[in-house]
Structure 1
Amino acid sequence: MPVWLTANGRRCIVRSCQACIDGSAEITVTSQVPVPTDEPDGAPRLPSLDILRGLAIMGILFMNINDTGASMNASFGDVRHLGWSAPDRVAWWLRAVFADGTARGVLEMLFGVGMVILTARFAERGGEGAALLRYGWRNAVLFALGIAHVLILLWPGDILHTYAIAALLIFPLRHARPRLLLTLGLSLATLQLVGGGLGYMDARQEAIVYRTSTAHLTAHEPLTREERAAVDHRAERDRRLAKEMRAAVEEDAARTGTAMQWVQYQWRQAWTLQAEGLEPFVVLEAWATMLIGAALFKLGWLQGEQSARWYGRAALIVYALALVLRVTEATESMSFMDAPHLSDATSEYGRLSMSLGHVLLVNWLLASGRGGRWLRPFAAAGRSALSLYILQTLVMLWLLFPPWGLRLYGQFGWASLMVLAAVIDTALLVLAVWWMRRFRIAPVEWAWRSIVAGRALPFRRTERG
């Protein structure tokens, strides 16, 4: 039987969670509030959010597979190192425009939603103090899982520990109004827009000065102080690019060598990322996007509280902005020209708008009834997202690419890596649907939430807590 609820004065219908998983009912979402399910710890679920989470965790593989199956340093630097045939260029461009950073963006928004839902549930049962303690403990365990993901499963690009930190930092704002949450959430992108815009103008001026200095050097004429600074800056940039290329070559050598070389390099890469001071910026990005997710949830944007027509129009508007920004960014990157890039100022707004466009599109498909059937399997992926994330690592870093596995590291270009990611995701999606039809919870979720609860949670559908 469907469950009728009230949300913001509207009546809404949410099919049973089991029906969403086993295919016995179409998912139709018009407006939702969290509803109890057969989750072993009683956690409420929203089918539309599970679908978004499932799509995002599938999308993460398209972002990570090039860093696991080829040089991570090259992905940060000259992407042509992985292959630059015509299919590779098309694959890279599509990835850069529609996917890059968006799976991460959707997951970060959903973490913000989770903060709102979970802390409200904890506070209702035990007050504000209990909400802080239980929410804090939950994220402390997630942080530990993330560190184990780095040190034991050898994935330097882990996001679990980062999201655990950011999720704790947004807790003090759980009662904030959507306007404040959006203002704070967009502050990072706005700072980049202003700072990057000023940097873009400075870089344009420096490029003009450098061209002048080149002419003066050719004519054996003395340089002004400004011209000398431009020449020195260009030389420093060239040294940095050369260092990046050497790092990619060294990585290729280490990851095609012995098993011990592979393990040591993965540990060293994890340490290098920390030593370079990237972690605070990644946490800040996650913090800001989580606040945006919390705000949009409170406004009813993320969970299907608007009409299909509203979602359709909103998606078109947001996608239009996203495409302008992302196509510009991809075009600038593919030029490989030593010229100022406008996307240095706009990339975060591009990432956020494309991420939000995907969220709005999914909600339009659900609200209009056009996408419920083919989106339904992703609800199972969303309920097992943590397990699938870890399983992606096991497949890539312990089976396909390492010296003790199939030794496929460096054998794929951009196009073939994207095809491989699609094949792996398809297999994982089938596995997720199969598993969630038979079990109440996925394995890693069970371990995480059992530790949080301080007891072994029921695992099979026949068990009772």
Structure 2
Amino acid sequence: MRAPYGDLRGAGERRIDRQAAKGERMSEATSAGPVAQRERIADIDVLRGAALFGVFLVNLTGFGAAGIMATEGELAALPTAPVDRAVAFAIDWLVADKANTIFAFLFGLGFYIQMERGLARDPGFARVYARRIAILALFGWAHLVFLWTWDILHLYGMVGFALLAMRRVSDRALLAIGLPLLLIDGHLLEWGLGALGIGGGGADFYADAAVLARQAADYPQELALTWRWTWIDYIVNGQLVAWMIYALGRFAMGAWVGRKGWIQRPDAAMPGFRRALVLCLPLGLALSLLARLLEAKLLGPAFAGEAWGHLGSALRPAAAALLAAGYLCGVMVALRSAAGRALLAPLRHVGQMALTNYVTQSFVIAFVLFGIGPGLGLAGRIGTAWLAAIAVAGFVAQVALSRLWLSRFAFGPLEWAWRALTYGRRPRFRRAAALAAA
């Protein structure tokens, strides 16, 4: 496929992709199959790569924060504590809730595009897609239990079935479902469930004693702690339901935008992207800053009451949605300039391997924070500033490794396995094999 902002691949890569696409088109003419490389929308891969950076940054710094893998006392005693607080504030203001909003939005967008293309080839494609998201959900639950308690893949797989059930609803209905839910975040939903008497009882997971136990745990002990948290604090106490509702709103908005075709046909939509950028970015920055200042009680004694803190929490989802929209529009606009393409185009390789890179980030976080096996066990020993620096360095490495991998292989390893399980046949893996088959 010719990228909407110009083909960023080398001649050899373009030739190989054409040959791979030729073989895939032959098999797809009569049945559903994986999306050919030429059919990928490069802008979406860039957006997904950018969102993955934000997810990595928030996950690493958030998991190393007080109440999760470090205590307040440990972090306050660090020589970098003042800088850590400033960096944590900036991440919460600029990245937290925005990156995962974009990531979930892109899932909904991708759903619409896959369904549109799949149904054009096979009227029964919905069954194939159901198998695809069921595999994702199962993989996500395994990822949650055995490696990463903040997994999102199980949510995407489970809520994907709701999106599948909504595939025939009108544009107006999609918007009516997505927009209100977009303005409610998972934390607010958790609070609402608590107000109804659903929840509570999991607070001991965040106590200092529990944090120190996690720091000292070996892998079997960590698994037991994770199982307990997953059952009590996540399932029984309603967090799972809250975050499924959170994801559904963002999925629905992504599918709605997909129906409008704005991302697929960006040149025609560019005036709208520019107007939305001018509106959403400054408004989102200001509202997100206000929400964070109110929550942290940093606006002086007159705004230090609990009611003001609750107002800040209530403003967060709207602020996150506006700022996420501003970021997304900013990327779409930037990709139409030479400087923007040079800066952002490498992210498409990360986005093409989003599943592999997301899971790899989990291993990196575990390696940095936990003392299990070869792990560094740095939880409580370094603060947010150093963790943010590690996230930046780790993501730069992912950009380079993703590009290197995709110069030799057509898919990331987990993407390849996911496709093979979904379609019941092994897609071509090595680019050299695709070239030789021509």
Report the TM-score range of the alignment, normalised by the length of the smaller protein.
Answer: 0.7 to 0.9
Select the residue among 44, 49, 59 that pairs with 1:49. Answer: 44
CA contact (8 A) 1:122 1:131 kept: yes
Q: Does 1:318 align with 2:280?
A: yes
Name whichever of 39-48 and 273-282 sits farther off: 39-48
CA contact (8 A) 1:59 1:99 kept: yes
CA contact (8 A) 2:52 2:354 kept: yes
- Tell me what 2:195 maps to: none
CA contact (8 A) 2:67 2:207 kept: no
TM-score, L = length of structure 1? 0.77
- Tell me what 1:155 maps to: 148
Return closer, same or farther for 1:96/1:246 CA change in 2, 3 Å cut-off.
Answer: closer
CA shift digits 1:27-52 (9 cap, x unpaired): xxxxxxxxx68889344310000000
Aligned partner of residue 367 in structure 1, secondary structure: coil
Q: Does 1:382 align with 2:354?
A: no
Select the residue among 248, 252, 258 that pairs with 1:291. Answer: 252
- Tell me what 2:61 maps to: 66
- Tell me what 1:95 maps to: 91
Return closer, same or farther for 1:429/1:38 CA change in 2, 3 Å cut-off.
Answer: farther
- Tell me what 1:214 maps to: none
- Tell me what 2:230 maps to: 270
CA contact (8 A) 1:21 1:379 kept: no
Return closer, same or farther for 1:397/1:111 CA change in 2, 3 Å cut-off.
Answer: same
Return closer, same or farther for 1:37/1:65 CA change in 2, 3 Å cut-off.
Answer: farther
Tell me the distance in 2 between the aligned counterparts of 1:328 and 1:395. Answer: 33
1:140: Cα distance to partner?
0.3
Aligned partner of residue 408 in structure 1, secondary structure: coil
- Tell me what 2:118 maps to: 122
Q: Does 1:425 align with 2:421?
A: no
CA contact (8 A) 2:178 2:250 kept: yes
1:138: Cα distance to partner?
0.4
Tell me the distance in 1 between the aligned counterparts of 2:380 and 2:369. Answer: 11
- Tell me what 1:107 maps to: 103
CA contact (8 A) 1:157 1:270 kept: no
CA contact (8 A) 1:309 1:364 kept: no
Tell me the distance in 2 between the aligned counterparts of 1:349 and 1:13. Answer: 30
Q: How does 1:239-388 map to 2 (within 5 A)?
A: 247-271=207-231, 272-303=233-264, 304-306=266-268, 308-335=270-297, 337=304, 339-340=306-307, 341=309, 342-388=311-357
CA contact (8 A) 2:69 2:214 kept: no
1:358: Cα distance to partner?
0.8
CA shift digits 1:231-274 (9 cap, x unpaired): xxxxxxxxx89956962432223322444333322332323322
CA contact (8 A) 1:22 1:433 kept: no
Return closer, same or farther for 1:368/1:311 CA change in 2, 3 Å cut-off.
Answer: farther
CA contact (8 A) 1:113 1:290 kept: yes
1:422: Cα distance to partner?
0.8
CA contact (8 A) 1:97 1:326 kept: yes
| Letter of the structure 2 residue corresponding to residue 302 of structure 1 | I
- Tell me what 1:185 maps to: 178
- Tell me what 1:135 maps to: 129
CA contact (8 A) 2:69 2:380 kept: no
Return closer, same or farther for 1:257/1:142 CA change in 2, 3 Å cut-off.
Answer: closer
Tell me the distance in 1 between the aligned counterparts of 2:11 and 2:102. Answer: 21
Tell me the distance in 1 between the aligned counterparts of 2:256 and 2:424. Answer: 32
Select the residue among 374, 384, 393 that pairs with 1:414. Answer: 384
Tell me the distance in 1 between the aligned counterparts of 2:136 and 2:280. Answer: 33
Identity of aligned residues (%): 26
Return closer, same or farther for 1:289/1:189 CA change in 2, 3 Å cut-off.
Answer: closer
Return closer, same or farther for 1:370/1:451 CA change in 2, 3 Å cut-off.
Answer: same
1:313: Cα distance to partner?
2.9
Name whichever of 54-63 and 178-187 sits farther off: 178-187
Give the number of equivalent residue pairs: 397
1:171: Cα distance to partner?
1.7
Tell me the distance in 2 between the aligned counterparts of 1:67 and 1:252. Answer: 16
Aligned partner of residue 136 in structure 2, secondary structure: helix
Tell me the distance in 1 between the aligned counterparts of 2:84 and 2:121. Answer: 53
Return closer, same or farther for 1:436/1:187 CA change in 2, 3 Å cut-off.
Answer: same
Residue segments in structure 1 that go unaligned for 5+ positions in a row: 4-11, 25-35, 200-239
Name whichever of 118-127 and 137-146 sits farther off: 118-127
CA contact (8 A) 1:48 1:363 kept: yes
CA shift digits 1:91-121 (9 cap, x unpaired): 1121111100111111111111111111122
1:388: Cα distance to partner?
0.5
CA contact (8 A) 1:262 1:403 kept: no
CA RMSD of aligned residues (A): 3.3
CA shift digits 1:320-365 (9 cap, x unpaired): 2212321112112322855212123222111111111110000010
CA contact (8 A) 2:104 2:247 kept: yes
Return closer, same or farther for 1:322/1:457 CA change in 2, 3 Å cut-off.
Answer: same
Residue segments in structure 2 that go unaligned for 5+ positions in a row: 16-20, 25-32, 193-199, 299-303
CA contact (8 A) 1:325 1:343 kept: no
CA contact (8 A) 1:115 1:174 kept: no
CA contact (8 A) 1:54 1:381 kept: yes
CA contact (8 A) 1:262 1:402 kept: no
Return closer, same or farther for 1:267/1:191 CA change in 2, 3 Å cut-off.
Answer: closer
- Tell me what 2:27 maps to: none
1:459: Cα distance to partner?
0.7
TM-score, L = length of structure 2? 0.81
CA shift digits 1:289-343 (9 cap, x unpaired): 1111111222233342445554233112011221232111211232285521212
CA contact (8 A) 1:365 1:372 kept: yes
Return closer, same or farther for 1:354/1:74 CA change in 2, 3 Å cut-off.
Answer: farther
